[in-house]
Chains A and B, each alone.
Chain A
Amino acid sequence: KAGVTQTPRYLIKTRGQQVTLSCSPISGHRSVSWYQQTPGQGLQFLFEYFSETQRNKGNFPGRFSGRQFSNSRSEMNVSTLELGDSALYLCASSWDRADTQYFGPGTRLTVL
């Protein structure tokens, strides 16, 4: 069974731009969670989608948004990028949020 995949793996953007990251969960998993990981803050929860609905949201500004499609694939979008948005963005899928979450390799975003 294929694992969680994320595209792109690496991305370089400049301040003010916007970016869209993609995540394909493990087949059959309906819950997709997104995390931001930085050396200073560790794993920070962004939001979780289940059956195309956002069920949980972390403490991030409205510039961070996401969506989930009917095939459970998910995208997250960050608008008006800031230098502090540079991070590894991780996607995790599970049957449901309280179940074991399996992570993708992440997208390394660098904002210049």
Chain B
Amino acid sequence: GESVGLHLPTLSVQEGDNSIINCAYSNSASDYFIWYKQESGKGPQFIIDIRSNMDKRQGQRVTVLLNKTVKHLSLQIAATQPGDSAVYFCAENINNDMRFGAGTRLTVKP
């Protein structure tokens, strides 16, 4: 996997609002995508995944949208809570190789 040199994008939202975190992926042949959440001092935690034959998938308070036309992936978090504060990053499967994005730091204001 590779990540670009980092100056993490940040997103600050008010508690209770919805959050949308975006990820642009690189390869139109990518067929599997994952969103991870990483809290400070912890390893990345699996949130939700989606295969390229779908354009939307919902979990508990989270929705992933896949737009293959523009190679864009988004993670929507409903009713964002303070515990959602973390770095979120996407991963894509290219030819059986998982590659990770740089991440977005989400901060939830009480």
Instruction: Kindly list chain A residues whose C-beta atoms are within 8 Å of the C-beta of B4.
Output: 42
Number of A-B contacts (CB under 8 A): 58
Q: Which of A77-94 contact B (CB under 8 A)?
A: 90, 92
* Contact of B2 (CB < 8 Å), options: A44, A90, A100: A44
Does A110 sit within 8 A of B, measured CB to CB? Answer: no
- Which chain A residues border B6 with CB–CB below 8 Å? 39-42
Q: Is B61 an interface residue (CB 8 A)?
A: no
Interchain CB contact under 8 A, A97 and B96: yes
Verify if B45 is at the interface (C-beta below 8 Å from A).
yes
Q: In the complex, how many residues of chain B place their beta carbon closer than 8 angstroms to a beta carbon of chain A?
A: 24
Q: Does A25 contact B (CB under 8 A)?
A: no
Q: Which residues of A contact B (CB under 8 A)?
A: 4, 6, 33, 35, 39-45, 56, 58, 90, 92, 96-98, 100-106
Q: A43-B89, A44-B2, A100-B34 are in contact. List 9 more A-B contacts (CB 8 A).
A: A41-B5, A42-B100, A42-B103, A44-B3, A90-B43, A98-B96, A103-B36, A106-B42, A106-B43
A-B residue pairs in contact (CB < 8 Å), sample of 10: A6-B43, A39-B6, A42-B89, A92-B44, A98-B93, A98-B96, A98-B97, A101-B46, A101-B91, A106-B42
